[in-house]
Amino acid sequence: MAAIKTYDRIEQRVNKAIPDWKEWPRRLRRLYASYEDYGSTDAAITDMVEQWGWDSLSIKKLEKATPSYIKALEAYRYNGDYPKLEHWVKNITTSELKAVYMREGELTSFASLDENPKATSFHGAVVAANGMLDLAEPYGDRDDLNQNAPETPTSGSGLGTFD
């Protein structure tokens, strides 16, 4: 439960510092979250796009259609850092952006795996082996699910270690 609350705080920070984050196309969010690692120059962005096998004309169209992304890119280039609100001590970090980006992509990723049963079983095994389900919110903590679910994690689930 503590891991979920921590994620919620991270997501809130990102959405406050970058109000249009959720409105940006997913590929632009990935580019933005990668500036610190790859750079933010036109050449660096072109390199990222090519490395990831994306169509550069498609990315240019997305950028043109998303003025708030261009504004955020220009601010990053000018300041050399991700944004923060005036009363904040520290700026948004790359790890915070990546955590939100990855979490937002979970549903999309698993939905695409549903189309390929072999991929679904393989990725399911990888997820289970790496303990990735340990971060899942217990059903008992969700108002939208069965209220009869256990409120505390069962032993062996790994969730108890976050208390």
What does the pLDDT read at residue 122? 63
The pLDDT confidence band at residue 149, using thresholds 50, 70 and 90, is very low
| Cβ count within 10 A of residue 68 | 14
CA dihedral of 22, 27, 31, 33, whole degrees rounded to 10:
40
- Of the chain, the percentage scoring pLDDT greater than 90 comes to 45
Quick one: which H or E segment has residue 151? none
Average pLDDT, the chain: 78
Tens digits of per-residue pLDDT, 32-58? 999 999 999 999 999 999 999 999 999
This prediction has a pTM of 0.66
- Would you call 100 exposed, middle or buried from its count of C-beta atoms within 10 A (0-12, 13-18, 19+)? buried
In the prediction, which pLDDT does 111 show?
61
- Spatial contact of 146 and 121, defined as CB atoms under 8 Å apart: no
